[in-house]
A and B are shown apart, each in its own frame.
Chain A
Amino acid sequence: AQSVTQLGSHVSVSEGALVLLRCNYSSSVPPYLFWYVQYPNQGLQLLLKYTSAATLVKGINGFEAEFKKSETSFHLTKPSAHMSDAAEYFCAVSDNGGSNYKLTFGKGTLLTVNP
């Protein structure tokens, strides 16, 4: 079974600083990888996804993530944090093979942005 580890349940950055949210997955075969964001009182929204087309994936709102097979990582970054980025972020990985519609999520990282 797949598993996802998000290092740091809470990350705090200053406005304008680099955002780095860490995600490691367990799989011998690179699956599909996702980052979702959940703003307060809203549903989850897809930020970006890796589907093997390119290792560096660009998403919405200036976020990007790099797939590193050797490190089994898919860390999320944004060069300059904005107050509106404050939210909870979830990394997810799909199963392999015929059940690849099934996503396994990490526990989430709450990002706070300080003025």
Chain B
Amino acid sequence: GAGVSQSPSNKVTEKGKDVELRCDPISGHTALYWYRQRLGQGLEFLIYFQGNSAPDKSGLPSDRFSAERTGESVSTLTIQRTQQEDSAVYLCASSLAGQPSTDTQYFGPGTRLTVL
């Protein structure tokens, strides 16, 4: 079956521009996660959606970052007024629910964002 897909795979933008990254989770997965991976670093948790519950936004690094999810489907991560330090690979993952004991987070291939 189809896995998690993300688009675009690569995005080059100029400093100060807004960007929108898209994630299509596995069908039927109620939980969706966004992570950021800077060069030479581990993945950083950004935000978590679970069904119709209020998202956990505790990992968003600044108010320039926001994310939305429509129901249990597509999610978009928006970065406003991009800065060079936003350059990273942005990874999306989904799981059946938010239970690490029984669920597995399935990751997409990521979007590589470069801010010039």
Contact = CB atoms under 8 A, between A and B. Distances in A.
Interface of A: 4, 9, 32, 34, 36, 41-46, 49, 51, 90, 92, 94, 99-108
Contacts of A100: 99-101
Contacts of A105: 35, 42-44
Contact of A32 (B40, B101, B109): B101
B90 interface: no
A19 to B, nearest CB: 20
Contact of A107 (B40, B45, B98): B40
Q: Which 4 A-B pairs have CB atoms at the shortest separation, nearest pair first?
A: A105-B42, A101-B98, A44-B107, A43-B107
Nearest to A91: B42
Contacts of A108: 42
A4 B42 CA distance: 9
Interface string B15-46: 00000000000000001010100001111110
Contact of A101 (B42, B44, B48): B48
Given A100-B100, A101-B100, A46 B45 contact: no
A104 to B, nearest CB: 7
B56 A106 contact: no
Nearest to B45: A102
A106 B41 CA distance: 8
B3 to A, nearest CB: 7
B31 A101 contact: yes
Given A43-B91, A46-B105, A103-B45, 14 more contacts: A9-B40, A43-B108, A44-B91, A44-B107, A45-B107, A46-B106, A51-B101, A101-B31, A101-B50, A101-B56, A103-B100, A104-B42, A105-B42, A105-B44
A36 B100 CA distance: 14
Contacts of A51: 100-101
